[in-house]
Structure 1
Amino acid sequence: MLCIRGVVLPECEQRVFRIDGGVLREGAPPGGLAGRDAELVVDGGWLLPGLVDVHTHPGALEPDAPFDEGLLRGQLAEHRNAGVLAVRTPGTAARMPAWVETDPGLPRVISAGRWLATPGRFFPGLGRDVTEDELVRAAVEEATASSGWCKVIGDWALDEPAVPLPLLTSVVEAVHAVGGKAAVHCQTAEGSRNAVLAGADSLEHGMHLDPALLDRMAAQGTAFVPTLSAFGARADEMRARRPGLRRDLWLAGWDGMLGHVRAAHEAGVTVLAGTDSFPCGTVASEVSWLVRAGLPTTAALGAASWTARAWLGLPGLVDGAPADVVAYAADPTLDPAVLRHPSRIVLRGRVVR
């Protein structure tokens, strides 16, 4: 029987687990850790309940590239090899194939179906193009055909109108009525405002989010997924561009993002780690950006682990939980860079690294 011993985070408590049928059971087996039936695959170090990337789009290399199942498998493996044992895919070019749910060697995938884009608000043909009159019905269809989520492109160009608030509100209400949840892509002030006022379950990016909306977000449980690493990677390129309206709007939004993320955490908003970039398996970089934004290290780690798992309905390291565990030789609460170097990865009760 496989056994694990180490310091469990965030509780910072030394614990012992045994793995029984892919499930964690607290305590050593009857014969003890030295017994012949016990195989101690993790002995010491710090234990996390699997990292989580809540905004990743495996299955393509470029935003406008076609969906590729072979690439999907490889990119999910990149996540797994980095200790990312659960991902949320808020929008893809195609619905997830059935094998994603059954492959024991790949992370758990929570899909939001295809991107839902109204005219002029996304890469043409990449997601599911619908008219504004079709949007509510399409959102319900994607939510019920996926893992319960749908993803709406709430705005697109920084100088163009967002999806109208009454329509977005109808989308969220209809999705909630069937037990689903709605993620909204928003980068403009209007798009972010509409997403919050509509009651979206998550804001993806929120580049020009008005801090005056943070108390409402916290009260209604709207999570904030800022994808800072994706924006940060483009900042120098954008500054080097010739001045213009869209470039200047982008930079103005980026210049305020770190402060807005810190303010969101301080207001009690659930801030989560999502990369929205390639290669996959780089959520440790997003954690570093969250720390740079001013989140306490433990909160930034939680955004990519226990907090994200709880938000997605996945348990942490407790008796009866799925045996998804990542071990580290050093304490990541002292240095988040430790996340880049897992010493052991256990997925669905199997040692994968």
Structure 2
Amino acid sequence: MIRVRGIVLPDREERSFWIDGELLRTDPVPGADLVVDGGYLLPGLVDAHTHPGTERPGVPFDDATLRSHLTDHREAGVLLVRTPGSAARIPAWVDEDPDLPRVRSAGRWLATPGRFVPGYGRDVTEAELVAAAVDEARSSSGWCKVIADWEFGDPAISLGLLTEVVSAVHAVGGRVAAHCQTAEGSHNAVLAGVDSLEHGRYLDQDLLDRMVRNGTALVPTLNVMGNKIDEVRAREATPRRDWLLKGWEGAVANVRAAEEAGVLVLAGTDSFPCGTVANEVGWLIRGGMSAEAAIAGASWEARSWLGLPGLVDGAPADLVVYDVDPTLDPRVLAHPSAIILRGRVVRSRNL
């Protein structure tokens, strides 16, 4: 048996945990090996929007690539990921591998005609969408992912149809993630009561209170657009380029407004390489979120939202350790000094 001791966030109380198998325990066990002594302890980091297994359309989903991507997450201290849509269903062996992060999958992307990359997810007609959403939710970790809108000028899925999807999936105990990057798509998704709004670049801030009432989380994925925004600005002016820039400005502004309204804002990278959720936290902070709220959306709040407790007795033994408080210096989030996954030490340095 091993023991860890440090200052637990967000409570900022010094505690000790004894690791019994894959669980944290608070009752002392004499003779346990002290593998972490000091520092700041967080529940394992979370990437709430990542697509391991393939990096671009046209490239087949591959188990070796999936393992490599998940390993990259783990090495960065990301011990829980949500895959809101994938080119294939996440195979069962992932949950059985103690060396890989825990995965919450939404099955395959659900794309109706004219929305999304043909053949990259699960192509369905609008008449088939409700049944397909229920099927993906039942066949995954309880989630499904709907491409609620797509490109500049394209119509979004109607409010009526999206409401049917949400009602049917909720009826079987599932949850709905919606890809939204247009005003119409975000509007329809919020009014339909989806469980998470992915991107939400043109989200009307007047809808934030509705999101709070519905329990809809916002996953803005600033990292993926922020990393190439200068290149977009340098392009020749076109309606689509202007649409992208205005959407980016809206997405950044929405981050602070969402936090102030009480919307749960989660960190999701939607980009490669995997294991860069610390970058997304940085973007959330630059967007105006407090450091603590941004880190919570990549750790304890995100884990709770996905059904896992924080650092308490009986919780999964998934934790990361930092030399200094990451809420005071968020740059350290990318450099954990210790990582423990499912009770096994991935990295440890006696602090």
TM superposition score category, shorter chain reference: over 0.9
Offset of residue 256 of structure 1: 2.0
Residue 164 of structure 1: which of 142, 158, 162 is its match?
Answer: 158
Offset of residue 63 of structure 1: 4.2
Match of 1:267 in 2: 261
How many corresponding residue pairs? 347
Residue 107 of structure 2: which of 104, 113, 119 is its match?
Answer: 113
CA contact (8 A) 1:202 1:225 kept: yes
Q: Deviation digits for residues 9-58 of structure 1, max 9, x if unmatched?
A: 000000000001211001431x2xxxxx3111111000001000000000
Q: Secondary structure at the match of 1:15?
A: strand
Q: Secondary structure at the match of 2:310?
A: coil
Provide the aligned C-alpha RMSD in A.
Answer: 0.8
Residue 38 of structure 2: which of 37, 44, 48 is its match?
Answer: 44
Q: Deviation digits for residues 43-90 of structure 1, max 9, x if unmatched?
A: 100000100000000001224422111000000000000000000000
Offset of residue 171 of structure 1: 0.4
Match of 2:28 in 1: 28
Hey, what's the Cα distance between the residues in 1 that align with 2:291 and 2:128?
43
Hey, what's the Cα distance between the residues in 2 that align with 1:66 and 1:149?
22
Residues 18-167 of structure 1 correspond to what in structure 2 (within 5 A)? 18-29=18-29, 31=30, 37-167=31-161
Residue 327 (1) aligns with residue 315 (2)? no
Give the counterpart letter for 1:99 in structure 2. Answer: W
Offset of residue 334 of structure 1: 0.6
CA contact (8 A) 2:203 2:250 kept: no
Give the counterpart letter for 1:109 in structure 2. Answer: V
Match of 2:346 in 1: 352
Residue 247 (1) aligns with residue 241 (2)? yes
Residue 232 of structure 2: which of 215, 233, 238 is its match?
Answer: 238
Q: Secondary structure at the match of 2:144?
A: strand
Give the counterpart letter for 1:25 in structure 2. Answer: R
Give the counterpart letter for 1:39 in structure 2. Answer: D
Identity of aligned residues (%): 68
Match of 1:205 in 2: 199
CA contact (8 A) 1:15 1:27 kept: no
Hey, what's the Cα distance between the residues in 1 that align with 2:219 and 2:148?
14
Residue 187 (1) aligns with residue 181 (2)? yes
Hey, what's the Cα distance between the residues in 1 that align with 2:242 and 2:252?
17
Offset of residue 231 of structure 1: 1.1
Offset of residue 352 of structure 1: 1.1
Q: Secondary structure at the match of 2:136?
A: helix
Match of 1:15 in 2: 15
Give the counterpart letter for 2:123 in structure 1. Answer: D
What residue ranges of structure 1 are gaps of 5+ in the alignment?
A: 32-36
Offset of residue 257 of structure 1: 1.7
Give the counterpart letter for 1:234 in structure 2. Answer: K
Residues 285-300 of structure 1 correspond to what in structure 2 (within 5 A)? 285-300=279-294
Hey, what's the Cα distance between the residues in 2 that align with 1:28 and 1:82?
29
Offset of residue 339 of structure 1: 0.6
Offset of residue 290 of structure 1: 0.8
Residue 279 (1) aligns with residue 265 (2)? no
Which runs of structure 1 show a deviation greater than 2 angstroms over 4 or more consecutive aligned residues? none
Hey, what's the Cα distance between the residues in 2 that align with 1:291 and 1:251?
20
Hey, what's the Cα distance between the residues in 2 that align with 1:350 and 1:177?
37
Q: Deviation digits for residues 204-235 of structure 1, max 9, x if unmatched?
A: 00011000100100111000000001110121
Q: Deviation digits for residues 320-349 of structure 1, max 9, x if unmatched?
A: 001001111111011111111111100000
TM-score after normalising by structure 2 = 0.98
Hey, what's the Cα distance between the residues in 2 that align with 1:230 and 1:324?
27
